Amino acid sequence: MWDHEIRAMASTHAIIAASVFMATVLPAALVRGFSVYSTHLLWLYSVSGAVTVVSIAVFWLLGITPPTKKHTVGYKLSRLFRSCLYFFLSCLFFHAVVVLYGAPLIECALDTFSLAVLLTSLTTLRCLCVLGPNVQAWIRVFSRHGAMSVWDTCLQITVACTLVGAWVGAFPIPLDWDRPWQVWPVSCSLGATIGFLTGLVAAPAWIHYHRKQLTYKCK
């Protein structure tokens, strides 16, 4: 019965994944000396920018974001402002979490913050797009009975995959292999991106195979 929605989701995800791909390939053609390892921050910002822009555009076009109750310009502006604020706060939050996980506090602050920006654009931004600037709804979504639509379930899966990817990405750092991708924060941001891409693939597939069990009472 949700074939339509699943198809929409799959195509959305394909577009986002393509944007990640393009964000990796295009700068390589435009900027000299661009590579994922050596100019890592550039790649990172290019990916997070692309994902941000494409996600906002796609979700806005699809009209998944919950409709605003009031239609005044002032309300819309305050919503926009709150979204930006939450985006920034989420960057700070991820930065703090990453530092507490053992990232250097001062030396690589810019790298750590860039990783936080990437994580925010892969996770929080999606929450903003799907649920609007409503932290309580975000917390509610991440519970067993909290998903109220296919998009909520999809959000759960992609966010979990991204965060687990970033977490797993920290594992190779202590190894003494001397590879370029072991440098902080390359492995973590790669892990997050790979996790995100996995989530993009896994979410429609999982929903497709479990569509019988999924019941959303209210929407």
Partner 1 sequence: MKRLPVLWLLLWICAVYSVGIYLFVGGFLLVRLEVNRTSTCGDVLQPGEEPADFCRVRPRFRRAVLLIIDALKIDFAWFDPDNAAPRPYENKLPVLEETVASRPAHSRLYPFRADPPTTTMQRIKGFTTGSLPTFVDVGNNFASSAILEDNLIHQFGQDLHTVDNGILQHLYTTMVGDDWDVLVAHFLGVDHCGHRFGPDHPAMADKLTQMDGVIRSVIDRLQNDTLLVVMGDHGMTDTGDHGGESQKETDAAIFLYSPSPLFSSPPSQSEPDVVPQTDLVPTLALLLGVPIPYSSVGQVLLPVFPPHGQTEGAVGGLSQLEALWINAKQVNRFLETYSGMAKDIPPESLSQLKAEFSRLSSEYLATVQQGRPPPPQLAASLQAYLTSVRDTCRATWARFNPLKMAAGLVILALACLACLVLSELSDVLLREDGPGLRGPVVAALAAAVCAAAAQLRSRGHVEAVWCLAAAAFSSELLFLWRARRCGTAGGEKSGPGGAGWPTLRRLLAPHLLVPLLRCASLLSDSYVIAEGRAVTFLVFSLALYIPIRLNWDGLLLPPSHDPLKAAGILPPPALAPSTVRKEGFTLLACLGLLVGVLYLSLSFHACREEQGACQPSPFLSPLSRLQDSRLKNLHYVLSVCALALWTYLLRRFLRHYGNLNAASGAVFAARWVLPLLSVCLALYWAVSATPEDSFRNLAQLIVLAQRVLPRAAFCLVALGLSLIWLDPLTVFTKTRAAASTRSPPPPPPARYRASTGISPEAELHHLIPQIYQRMRRSLDDGELSRGAEEAGRPAVEAYGLGTVYTAPLLLLCGLLGVGLLLLHPEGMALSFLLLMLEMGALLHIHASSSTLSGPHAACAGGFNVPWTTVVLWSLAATQFFHATGHLPTFPSIQWGAAFVGFPDGHTGTVLPASLVTLNTFASHILFSVACPLLLFWPLVCEVRGGRAGRAGGEEGEDAVMEMRLRENPRQFSSALLQLSTRYLFILGAQVFASVCAAAILRRHLMVWKVFAPKLMFEASGFLVSSASLLIGVTLVLRVDVAVGRWFKRLIPDASR
Catalog residues that contact partner 1 under the rule CB under 8 A. 99-102, 136, 139-140, 142-146, 167, 170, 174-176, 178, 217-218
Output the smallest distance, CB 142 to partner 1, in A: 6
The smaller minimum CB distance to partner 1, of residues 43 and 184, is found at 184
Q: Are 192 and 119 in contact (CB under 8 A)?
A: yes
Angle at the Cα of 135 (from 132 to 140), degrees rounded to 5? 100
The smaller minimum CB distance to partner 1, of residues 11 and 66, is found at 66
Residue from 38, 192, 186 nearest 112 by CA: 186
Output the smallest distance, CB 117 to partner 1, in A: 21
Output the smallest distance, CB 171 to partner 1, in A: 8
Neighbours of 141 (CB within 10 A): 21
Computed from CA positions of residues 188, 192, 195, 197, in that sequence, does the dihedral angle turn out positive or negative? negative
Q: Is the peptide bond before 185 cis (omega within 30 degrees of 0)?
A: yes
101 token code pair: 């996980």
Output the smallest distance, CB 102 to partner 1, in A: 5
Output the smallest distance, CB 99 to partner 1, in A: 8
The smaller minimum CB distance to partner 1, of residues 24 and 182, is found at 182
Output the smallest distance, CB 190 to partner 1, in A: 18
H or E element, residue 103: none
Sequence letter at residue 60: W
Q: Are 115 and 96 in contact (CB under 8 A)?
A: no
Q: Are 169 and 187 in contact (CB under 8 A)?
A: yes
H or E element, residue 100: helix 73-100
The smaller minimum CB distance to partner 1, of residues 33 and 174, is found at 174
Angle at the Cα of 120 (from 118 to 122), degrees rounded to 5? 70
The smaller minimum CB distance to partner 1, of residues 3 and 176, is found at 176
The smaller minimum CB distance to partner 1, of residues 18 and 102, is found at 102
